[in-house]
Amino acid sequence: MCGIVGYIGTQTAVNILIEGLERLEYRGYDSAGIATVTEEKIESVRAKGKLFNLKEKLENHSNFSRLGIGHTRWATHGKPEEHNAHPHLDNQQRIAVVQNGIIENYQTLRDQLKEKGYQFYSETDTEVIPILIADILKDLPGDDPDKALLEAIGKAVHQLEGAFAIAVLDAHCPEQLIVARQQAPLILGFGQGEFFCASDVTALVPHTNTVLSLENGEIARLTPLGVEVYDFQLKRLRKLPRTLDWSATTVEKQGFRHFMLKEIYEQPAVVRTCLATYLNEQWRAADHPSHSPVFLGLDPQLTKNLQHIQILACGTSWHAGLVGKYLLEQLAGIPTTVHYASEFRYAAPPLTPHTLTIGVTQSGETADTLAALEMEKQRRLTLEDDYKPLILGITNRPESTLATMVNEIINTHAGIEIGVAATKTFVAQVLAFYFLALDIAFQRHSLSLEAIEHIMVGLRQLPAQIETILEQQGSAIEALAHEFAETQDFIFLGRGINFPIALEGALKLKEISYIHAEGYPAGEMKHGPIALLDAKVPVVAIAMPGSVHDKVISNAQEAKARDARLIGVTPMDDNQARSVFDDLLLVPHVEEMLSPIVAVIPLQLLAYHIAARRGLDVDQPRNLAKSVTVE
């Protein structure tokens, strides 16, 4: 959840570290700090709260060191106070460490180190790491400090249990920065005479497009001469970096007030990219094609003889999975279940053969999802040889940990998303399920060729339809949002394929506005939740054309009879809805099967504008982080 950054090179480290932390602050903003090496001394500055507090402390602080590490924290062990902020140092102030992750056996290590006389000044798990490294160092030969530090870290990581990515400085080694990774993301950046490390490439793209993702169980030593990568046994490894196609402008707001608003408006381009990447433009039903309408490039064994699909995800990705369930069942005809990854780990269903497991995670680093997938992979190895694990990943980061543990990846091509509340990545994940469902439906002949082509035609119209919403409804939704600045509760209703969109709309509002919001199947309102309704509780109902349209209208009228203010997500040509709803969030007319993509856009805008009207930090909502890399 936290963000770490490190630098060694020819420039002043402090400026690069602060800039990197600004781009990583979406990973945590409870506190921040940096450490540098100057004249064989560690200089560390830390501050409680958001990064601007640290920047204020550094305003009159002269530091020209060319080696340093930085950290922005999402608190796990210990409250968000300055004494718990990273970097943490050993008792002699020689070793400085920043960490992303959790050391599960930190209490045992802490007790052991206390028995040796070491003092602890924080409640964090991280503080044991520099003290442990220092304790190991004192028993190693001191004639080559650089070699000793690498050896000490190699010994230390074998004693750490849990998920971690660390960056380590040694005051006696002013020409090296050492990092290590185990179950937490860490990326290296290669410049000209300078090298970087960070939790995410967003911190690196202003400086370099040449990067290397460390894998689990790897250590890297960064010096002014280059980068050396080792395994945890300190065996030298040969690794090749890759080149990113991102530029610095992709991580800028580009005139928008917040990253979230920018990312909402990027959705037409994201959908166009996905369609251009995966949809076969030449495919026509009249040609009686023998090849699939989509270019997923998946191993045919992954979807051959499928009897069941299970989807594992968390948060917004779980909502995308619910839409995926509907598509896979209704289009492809395959029974599908959707599980919270965090729950699946401790109560997995009985094993069934011919089952495809799909892990959905925007970052490819979500700890619960990765752990659930690994557990399922190991469980399925116990089945007969014919039933080897079939695991598919859907992610926005094909270079992530997820890619190393699944058979195949569907890259959602959404680009960098900085805002903590997912918007464009949700739409891209849902599109991935459309493509997968169409591919399987074609293979299984569960849909006619004409029906497949009809859906493809509708998909191609989505970018323009999203642009219509943004252009015609943006100002109206902003004006409407002003009326809810003091609202305490919201209810979102949907049925069928749009029930997950009701959940997603409620989640967006909760995440960034701190308003209590709940999503329900519209037909379930009368079975209990209707007791919540009165004039102070607005109800947002998704009333899109299709089999459940009239049912949703009827359920909305039940809410209206209880004095609730009704807001309808409805097509622009739906005259019936105009007579029912107090306020309208209008969208173009689309068929029911494609409606989630357009229905979610006004809900994103409504959540954004309410939060902005309340004066809240939309991009960095309290208590949240973009990538949940701890359990």
453 domain-assigned = no
Cα separations in angstroms, 535 against 532, 543, 565, 570: 10, 21, 6, 22
Q: Which residues pair with 242 in a beta bridge?
A: 211
Residues 241 and 265 in one domain: no
Residue 330 has pLDDT above 60, yes or no: yes
Which of the four pLDDT bands, split at 50, 70 and 90, describes residue 62? confident
Nearest to 622 by CA among 630, 611, 613: 611
How large is the average pLDDT for residues 411-417?
Answer: 91
Residues 427 and 474 in one domain: no
Residue 628 has pLDDT above 70, yes or no: no
- Residue 194 · residue 188 · CB < 8 Å: no
- Residue 420 · residue 622 · CB < 8 Å: no
Please list the helix, strand and coil fractions of the chain in percent, rounded to the nearest 5, in that order.
40, 20, 35
Helix (H) or strand (E) holding 519: strand 516-521
455 domain-assigned = no
Of 463 and 29, more confident: 463
Poorest-confidence range of 51-60, 120-129, 337-346, 481-490? 51-60
Per-residue model confidence as pLDDT tens digits over 501-519: 999 999 999 999 999 999 9
C-alpha–C-alpha distance, residues 75 and 432, integer Å: 33
Per-residue model confidence as pLDDT tens digits over 351-400: 988 999 999 999 898 989 999 999 999 898 876 555 678 999 999 988 88
Residues 476 and 401 in one domain: no
How large is the average pLDDT for residues 407-420?
Answer: 91
The one catalytic residue among 2, 173, 274, 314 = 2
Q: How many domains does the chain have?
A: 3
C-alpha–C-alpha distance, residues 432 and 435, integer Å: 5
Residue 438 has pLDDT above 90, yes or no: yes
The DSSP code for 279 is B
Residue 29 has pLDDT above 80, yes or no: no
Two structure tokens written together for 569: 């997500």
556 domain-assigned = yes
Query: Hey, how many other C-beta atoms are within 10 angstroms of the C-beta on 239?
Result: 15
The one catalytic residue among 48, 155, 424, 626 = 626
Final residue belonging to a domain, choices 400, 419, 447: 447
Helix (H) or strand (E) holding 110: helix 106-115
Q: Which are the contacts of 417, defined by CB distance < 8 A and separation ≥ 6?
A: 259, 263, 362, 396, 423, 424, 425, 626
Residues 193 and 305 in one domain: no
Q: Where are the alpha helices (DSSP H) in 258-395?
A: 259-265, 267-278, 300-303, 315-330, 341-344, 367-380
Q: ω into residue 87 within 30 of 0, thus cis?
A: yes
547 domain-assigned = yes
Q: How high is the pLDDT of residue 61?
A: 80
Residues 264 and 231 in one domain: no
The number of angstroms, rounded, from the C-alpha of 534 to the middle of its chain's C-alpha atoms is: 36
Write b or e for each residue in 486-517: b if 16 or more Cβ atoms lie within 10 A of its Cβ, otherwise e.
ebeebbbbbbbbbbbbbbbbbbbbbbbbebeb
Residue 67 has pLDDT above 70, yes or no: yes
- Strand bridging mode 195-198 / 308-313: unpaired
Phi and psi dihedrals of 567, rounded to 5? Answer: -120, 125
358 domain-assigned = yes
Final residue belonging to a domain, choices 414, 447, 480: 447
How large is the average pLDDT for residues 168-187?
Answer: 94
Nearest to 441 by CA among 320, 546, 330, 284: 330
Two structure tokens written together for 181: 């990774």
Residues 313 and 268 in one domain: yes
C-alpha–C-alpha distance, residues 152 and 137, integer Å: 6
Mean pLDDT, the chain, rounded, equals 91
Largest CA distance in the chain: 84
Provide the residue count of the chain: 631
- Which residue reads 């899109």 in tokens? 544
The DSSP code for 628 is -
239 is catalytic: no
Q: How high is the pLDDT of residue 8?
A: 96
Q: How high is the pLDDT of residue 251?
A: 64
Q: Which are the contacts of 346, defined by CB distance < 8 A and separation ≥ 6?
A: none
Q: How high is the pLDDT of residue 349?
A: 92
Exposure on the CB side of residue 489, measured as CA atoms within 13 A: 11
Residue 354 in 3-state DSSP? coil
Q: How high is the pLDDT of residue 268?
A: 94
Exposure on the CB side of residue 462, measured as CA atoms within 13 A: 32
Which of the four pLDDT bands, split at 50, 70 and 90, describes residue 167? very high
Nearest to 437 by CA among 458, 423, 455, 461: 455
89 domain-assigned = yes
- Residue 415 · residue 245 · CB < 8 Å: no
551 is catalytic: no
Cα separations in angstroms, 479 against 97, 378, 571, 585: 48, 52, 19, 12
- Residue 293 · residue 438 · CB < 8 Å: yes
Nearest to 261 by CA among 249, 269, 270, 253: 253
Residues 418 and 434 in one domain: yes
Two structure tokens written together for 33: 């700090």
Residues 395 and 483 in one domain: no
Residues 237 and 268 in one domain: no
- Residue 354 · residue 306 · CB < 8 Å: yes
Residue 104 in 3-state DSSP? coil
Per-residue model confidence as pLDDT tens digits over 192-241: 889 999 998 888 988 998 999 999 999 999 999 999 999 999 999 999 99
- Strand bridging mode 236-237 / 41-48: unpaired
The DSSP code for 25 is G
Q: How high is the pLDDT of residue 385?
A: 54
30 domain-assigned = yes
Residues 148 and 219 in one domain: yes
Q: How high is the pLDDT of residue 522?
A: 82
Q: Where are the alpha helices (DSSP H) in 138-171?
A: 145-157
Q: Which are the contacts of 258, defined by CB distance < 8 A and separation ≥ 6?
A: 419, 608, 612, 618, 619
376 domain-assigned = yes
Final residue belonging to a domain, choices 223, 251, 279: 251
Residues 227 and 325 in one domain: no
Residues 112 and 149 in one domain: yes
CATH number at residue 375: 3.40.50.10490
CATH number at residue 25: 3.60.20.10
Amino acid at site 413: H
C-alpha–C-alpha distance, residues 71 and 198, integer Å: 10
Nearest to 512 by CA among 584, 601, 604, 630: 604
| Full residue range of the structural domain in which residue 598 is found | 460-631
